[in-house]
């Protein structure tokens, strides 16, 4: 199981972007994704050059950043974006 952390800066209608601190990759949850526990979302891993699909497990808001814990459908692991 692999743990990843992305600190995302957010605004109401904007995309969420930041870094996967385990891999160091820049990732983005594109505009229009409904990021809520129990929902499937798609995000872009720019360093790998691919879209990834995951299920949102939880969301933690810590002021100016948001951590989204997800179940990665391809790897079968839990990650924090």
pLDDT digits (tens, 9 = 90+) for 48-75: 899 989 899 999 988 888 888 888 888 7
| pLDDT per position as a tens digit, 27-54 | 899 888 888 999 999 989 899 899 989 8
Q: What region does 4 belong to: left with phi over 0, alpha with psi -120 to 50, or beta?
A: beta
Q: In Å, how far are 28, 33, 69, 80 from 46, measured between CA atoms?
A: 8, 17, 19, 16
29 occurs within a structural domain: yes
45 occurs within a structural domain: yes
Total domains in the chain come to: 1
C-alpha to C-alpha distance for 30 and 43, rounded to whole angstroms: 7
Q: Which two tokens stand for residue 69?
A: 């814990």
Query: Which secondary-structure segment (H or E) carries 1?
Result: none
Q: Model confidence at 11, in pLDDT bands (50, 70, 90)?
A: very low
8 occurs within a structural domain: no
pTM for the full predicted model:
0.74
Domain of 68 in residue numbering reads as: 16-80
């Amino acid at each position: 199981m692999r743990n990843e952390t992305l600190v995302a800066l957010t605004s109401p209608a904007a995309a969420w972007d930041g870094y996967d601190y385990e891999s160091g990759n820049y990732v983005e949850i594109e505009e229009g994704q409904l990021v809520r526990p129990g929902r499937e979302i798609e995000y872009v891993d720019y360093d790998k050059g691919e879209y990834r699909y995951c299920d949102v497990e939880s969301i933690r808001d810590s002021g100016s950043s948001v951590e989204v814990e997800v179940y990665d459908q391809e790897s079968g692991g839990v990650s924090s974006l």
